Amino acid sequence: MRPEEFTDIRYVVEEDNHAVITIDRQERMNSFRGRTVDELISAFKHAWADRRVAAVVLTAAGERAFCTGGDVKERAETGGYGETEWGTFEIERLHRIIRDVPKPVIAAVNGIAIGGGHVLHVLCDLTVAAEHATFAQSGPRVGSFDAGFGSAYLARVVGEKRARQIWFLLDRYDAATAERWGLVNEVVPADRLLDTARAWARKIGSYSPTALRFLKHSFNADSDHLGGISHLAFDGLALFAEGEEGMEGARAFAEKRPPDFRRFR
Ligand SMILES: CC(C)(COP(=O)(O)OP(=O)(O)OC[C@H]1O[C@@H](n2cnc3c(N)ncnc32)[C@H](O)[C@@H]1OP(=O)(O)O)[C@@H](O)C(=O)NCCC(=O)NCCSC(=O)CCC(=O)c1ccccc1C(=O)O
């Protein structure tokens, strides 16, 4: 897919140095549907292939949300995430490409990062967050889980107790807390968010791309076996999400009522 065809995201190469990928579905709080995921994968491939690009910035439009994960309304209405290029929902491939693209990926978190949106920033190499940004997982409330990188790799980042706290209590954490936990690298005022990400990209652009490529692969190698767990988990999730228990979570969200999971205990 060519960048001119994108409807859910924007892709721009700035200063002949870095790519900026902007999720832009503000009417659904920058949640992703199947098409959004296809476009994100395509954008990362463009950034991978483009020799001008030293680093990739992943951000989103507006100040309210970075990404709120899967489009829960779409899921409640249709049981899935809508049409895709190949007929498959490629979120796992998106996770892989963020890790595999041999250039540092910087998440610039401009608002809430929750659910699958939180997982996206966790998988990025670096995270800079606006002061008002918040962080949370939500799966067990809306009938979902990320039992792969989204939980196991998160535990690498913040430690087992914090990762379990994030997934079992589903609270929202402010940017200062996220920085204290090592979940984000730096917190800046909202009006400095993109400039900080750009400055990091510029700095990265002055370093040896081959050295950076090997370093990224080296960091990944140590946790790559978690990809096998992700594989199992996403196949399990696909079955779970369309079943009664999974759908209770999505429907409850769309109907603005608390979910009732008691019959599934
Ligand atoms: C983000 C909130 C905390 C914001 O709360 P608040 O500020 O009070 O605003 P709201 O009034 O709730 O929301 C405003 C407006 O936006 C709509 N909206 C918000 N989030 C979404 C969303 N994710 N999808 C669609 N629409 C959304 C909301 O309905 C409101 O619309 P109105 O028309 O104005 O009423 C809060 O909104 C919130 O908690 N949102 C849900 C976050 C969430 O749970 N996300 C999904 C998690 S699951 C996931 O991301 C993984 C999916 C996945 O990878 C997968 C893969 C393979 C198979 C299956 C799956 C799977 O489905 O799990």
Domain membership flag for residue 182 = yes
pLDDT (0 to 100) of residue 154: 98
Q: For residue 158, give the 3-state DSSP assignment.
A: helix
Please write the tens of the pLDDT for every residue from 84-111.
Answer: 999 999 999 999 999 999 999 999 999 9
The domain that contains 171 carries what CATH number?
Answer: 3.90.226.10
Domain membership flag for residue 23 = yes
Centre of ligand 1 to C-alpha 30, Å, is 9
DSSP one-letter string for 32-57 = B-HHHHHHHHHHHHHHHH-TT-SEEE
Domain housing 15: 3-191+208-221
The model carries a pTM of 0.97
Domain membership flag for residue 258 = no
Please identify, by atom number, the ligand 1 atom nearest to the C-alpha of residue 172.
3
Centre of ligand 1 to C-alpha 31, Å, is 7
115 assigned binding-site residue: yes
Strands 55-60 and 105-109: parallel
CB 15 within 8 A of CB 197: no
Q: For residue 262, give the 3-state DSSP assignment.
A: helix
pLDDT (0 to 100) of residue 170: 98
Domain membership flag for residue 131 = yes
**Cα–Cα distance, 97 to 237 (Å, whole number):** 20
206 assigned binding-site residue: no
DSSP one-letter string for 161-178 = HHHHHHHHH---EEHHHH
**Cα–Cα distance, 63 to 80 (Å, whole number):** 27
Domain membership flag for residue 228 = no
Q: Supply the ipTM of this predicted assembly.
A: 0.97
From residue 104, how far is each of 21, 174, 211, 222 by CA, in Å? 13, 25, 11, 17
Instruction: Name residue 44's beta-bridge partners.
Output: none
- Residue 197: both structure tokens together: 């990400």
Best CA proximity match to 71, nearest among 258, 254, 265? 254
Strands 173-174 and 134-136: antiparallel
From residue 88, how far is each of 125, 205, 227 by CA, in Å? 26, 35, 18
Domain membership flag for residue 130 = yes
Centre of ligand 1 to C-alpha 244, Å, is 19
Q: In this structure, which residue's CA is closest to atom 61 in ligand 1?
A: 144
Q: For residue 160, give the 3-state DSSP assignment.
A: helix
Number of structural domains, the chain?
A: 1
Alpha-helical regions (H) of the chain: 34-49, 72-78, 91-100, 116-123, 139-142, 154-158, 160-169, 175-180, 193-205, 209-221, 226-241, 244-254
Q: How many CB atoms are closer than 10 A to CB 91?
A: 25
pLDDT (0 to 100) of residue 198: 97
pLDDT along the chain (265 residues), means of 10: 97 96 98 98 98 98 98 92 95 97 98 98 98 98 95 98 98 98 98 98 98 98 95 95 95 97 97
Please give the angle made by the CA atoms of 253, 257 and 261, to the nearest 5 degrees: 80
CB 152 within 8 A of CB 226: yes
114 assigned binding-site residue: yes
Domain membership flag for residue 240 = no
Domain membership flag for residue 126 = yes
